[in-house]
Amino acid sequence: MMSLKERKRLNACIDRFPSTRILVVGDIVLDHYIWGNVSRISPEAPVPVVNVTKESLLLGGATNVVQNIHALGGSVSVCGIIGSDQAGSQVLQLLRSQHIPTDGLLVDEGRPTTIKTRIIAHSQQVVRVDRETKDVIGKDLHRLIFDQVKRHIVTGLDGIVISDYCKGVVTSDLVHDIVKIARKNNIIVSVDPKVSHFNMYRGVTILTPNANEASIGSKVDITDKESLLRAGTLLLNRLNCAAVLITRGELGMSLFEHGSKVTHIPTVAREVFDVTGAGDTVIATLTLAMASGASMTDAARISNYAAGIVVGIVGTAVVKQDQLKQRIRLG
């Protein structure tokens, strides 16, 4: 049970969120949801027939991290690439409707905006359809993105989130340049990683893989506490990060810090309906909390409470300050 002193400390950190300035760099995704009901199986193939009742468009990928930070009261900007297409226009519209700056979004005429279409029936995802390209960005786009990063650092920045969805924006050169300039300016760099890119993340402040990603990245099959400790320590040392936070679903989180013992944080989720976007919520809340002066342990605990809220909601969701405080109050 959390003590009153601990609760006050976490809430004081959340109160400082509005004074933080975060930049999110990464892959832009438009999440398209098709909602419906299933009452029969198709006579053409053994698949369910979904009777569509509604459709919705939501911000995904890096922009879901952005709206999570915005919902929690942080000052946030985004840098990434969209296509010259309807989906790109819809991303801009969704951001502007929340009064989130869009000047860091670059338009690439030859690249479509990534769209993930999920068909949901009776609160269960039936299928997902992706429309995208994964071509790695060239030198010109790299320069333009890094120019945006430098511009934000000049105007004042507390943290940078690298939101990597393996769509071509996050490259080893870009991560290297961001880490180098961030270190010079004492800026936090956090990464929600993808397994095929683990070697790119050397020198970042904190990495937040899930258990499966940590297993693949460390080449250690995580099956028990001993293998978990081995995997986390290997990643910490190999990538020279200040910390690695392994998210473990119903088993909670495990925080590995240089020079500190491992901290295991039990889950606070009451019901799990959908883990879509939970990683975005964790990285957003964690970075905000660290940028607001919280210790890594307190930041991880706060992000754990935020994740416990969003997994109880179908579809990508965000957490607001008052919801987060209430959840912490309930313990």
Two structure tokens written together for 11: 């809430």
Would you list the DSSP string of 238-293?
A: HHT-SEEEEE-GGG-EEEEETTS--EEE----S--S--TTHHHHHHHHHHHHHHTT
Neighbouring-strand partners of residue 189: 160
DSSP type of residue 164: -
Placement of tokens 């995580």 in the chain: 222
Placement of tokens 């029969």 in the chain: 40
Active site residue 15: no
Two structure tokens written together for 282: 């964790």
With the C-alpha atoms ordered 231, 233, 237, 239, is the resulting torsion angle positive or negative?
Answer: positive
Q: Which candidate, 197, 195, 196, 156, places its Cα nearest to that of 176? A: 197
Burial label for 55, CB within 10 Å (0-12, 13-18, 19+), is exposed
Catalytic residue among 31, 164, 280, 298: 280
Active site residues: 280
